Amino acid sequence: MKYYPAIFVLEPFHKEFLISLLIGKFLYLLQLILKHNKLQMEFTEEQILLRALSRGDEKAFEVLFMRYFPRVKRFISGLLQDDITAEDFAQDILLKLWQKREEMAKIENLNAYLYRTSRNAVYQHLRHILLVNEYGEKQQENLSRQQNEGAGNIEENMFAEELLLLIQHTVEQMPAQRKRIYEMSRKEGKNNDEIAQLLAINKRTVENHLTQALADIRKMLKHFYLF
C-alpha cells in the first residue's frame, strides 16, 4: 500500500486552503529573514561610517551629520519647546563627533550615544537657567537634600533631577494664568475651589487649566523617553 502525504488526499478546496496557508507562512518567514538582514546591513553600515570617521573621513561625517541632525534637533526641541536653541544644540552635539573622531570607532550604538549626549546638554542648559530663577535657592536646597538622602544611587538622583528641571521648564513656558493655577495647586496645595475663589474665576476654568498643564507636562515627558 502506497503512502501519500496528507495534502494529496484532501478535498480540492481544503488542499488549496492548506497550500495558501503554507505559502503565506513561507512569505512571512521570508519577510522576517529579509528584515533581519536589512538590520544587519544598517548596523554594519553605521560601523563602517564610524570607523571611517575615526580616520578623518569628512564624507563619512557629512553622512552621519545629515542622518542624525533632524532626529537630535527634534528630540531637544520636544524637551525645550524652542526650535532655535534645539538647532544650535544639535549642531554642537554632532560637531563633537568630528572633534572626537578618533574615539568614534569605539562606539557600538551611535543612537544611544547621541541620546545620552543630548539629554546631558538639555540637563546642563536647564540647570543653568532654572536654578538661578525665583525657585533657585529653594530648589537647590531640595535637590541637595534628595541627593544626600539617596547618596547611594547617583544615577537615580541625576535622573530625578533631570525630570524635575524639565517639569519646571515646562511650567515656565505655560501661559501666565495656567502657570499660576498649576503652582497654586501643586506647590501651595490649594484645592480647585480655593483657587477659583482666590482668582475670582469659575471652578471649571481652574479644572481646564490644570488638565492642559498636565497635558503639557505629559507631552514633554514623551519626548524625554523617546529618541
C-alpha cell at 151: 547618596
Contact 126/166 with Cβ under 8 angstroms? yes
pLDDT of residue 102: 92
Which of 133, 161, 192 marks a domain boundary?
Answer: 133
pLDDT tens, position by position, 89-136:
999 999 999 999 999 988 888 989 998 899 888 888 777 665 545 444
R_g of the chain, CA atoms, integer Å: 27
Q: What gap in Å lies between CA 31 and CA 37, rounded to an integer?
A: 10
Number of domains in the chain: 2
Residue 58 is assigned to a structural domain of this protein: yes
Q: Which among 16-20, 38-42, 111-115, 221-225 has the top mean pLDDT?
A: 111-115
Is residue 129 domain-shared with residue 174, that is, in the same domain? no
**Residue linked to cell 536654578:** 131
- Same-domain check for residues 59 and 126: yes
Residue 200's identity, in one-letter code, is A
| pLDDT above 60 for 59 | yes
Backbone angles phi, psi at 82, to 5 degrees: -150, 100
Provide the domain limits for residue 83. 45-133
Distance between CA atoms of residues 189 and 179, nearest Å: 14
- Bigger pLDDT: 180 vs 41: 180
pTM: 0.52
In a domain, 125, yes or no: yes
Which domain CATH number covers 89?
Answer: 1.10.1740.10
**Grid cell of 73 as nine digits:** 534637533
| Among candidate residues 133, 152, 178, the one where a domain is terminated | 133
